[in-house]
């Protein structure tokens, strides 16, 4: 008899130990860690509906409330990462040896590590219409907040 996977229950998805080991080295047991998933490159809806300025507003607000919080940033855009690291150098954590892109095995593995790091955060602020944010929140059983600008008229 076969056991079938419920496509809506991502908590049963398993990953290789080597990915969890990498996650441990990046976020470890970091307390006060909030996930940021900023989807860019080819996702026009995410870019227009969840702009960088909206993420910056959230980061600034949360830092004013508690200066001892950290953010794990998962993004598919190196320039976005560099910009936010410049703005918040003491509070942003990233995957240091990330391989960028989507076509190589190594870049896909980097995506898995980002995904699992997000799932270890206390909550995620994610990009509009991005399944990546939703799945990471489901796996981690954590709250997901979709970041949207006030002009955005798209539905989630």
The 3-state secondary structure of 94-115 reads CCCCCCCCCCCHHHHHHHHHHH
* pLDDT level of residue 4 (50, 70, 90 thresholds): very low
Q: How far apart are CA 69 and CA 11, in angstroms?
A: 26
| The pLDDT of residue 154 | 39
| pLDDT for the residue 156 | 36
Task: Render pLDDT for 106-123 as a digit per residue (tens, 0 to 9).
Answer: 989 888 899 999 999 999
Q: Which residues contact 31 (CB under 8 A, 6 or more apart)?
A: none
**Per-residue pLDDT tens over the stretch 21-35:** 888 888 887 889 999
Quote the pTM value: 0.84
């Amino acid at each position: 008899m076969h056991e079938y996977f419920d496509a809506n229950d991502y908590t049963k998805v398993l990953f290789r130990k080597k990915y969890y080991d990498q996650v441990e080295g990046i976020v470890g047991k970091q307390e006060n860690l909030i996930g940021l998933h900023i989807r860019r490159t080819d996702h026009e809806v995410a870019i227009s509906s969840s702009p960088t300025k909206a993420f910056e507003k959230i980061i600034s607000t949360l830092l004013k409330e508690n200066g001892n919080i950290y953010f794990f940033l998962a993004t598919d855009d190196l320039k976005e990462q560099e910009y936010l690291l410049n703005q918040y150098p003491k509070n942003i954590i990233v995957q240091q040896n990330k391989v960028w892109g989507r076509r190589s095995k190594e870049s896909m593995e980097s995506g898995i590590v980002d995904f699992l790091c997000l799932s270890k955060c206390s909550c995620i602020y994610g990009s509009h219409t991005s399944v990546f944010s939703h799945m990471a929140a489901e796996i981690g059983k954590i709250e997901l907040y979709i970041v949207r600008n006030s002009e955005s008229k798209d539905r989630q």
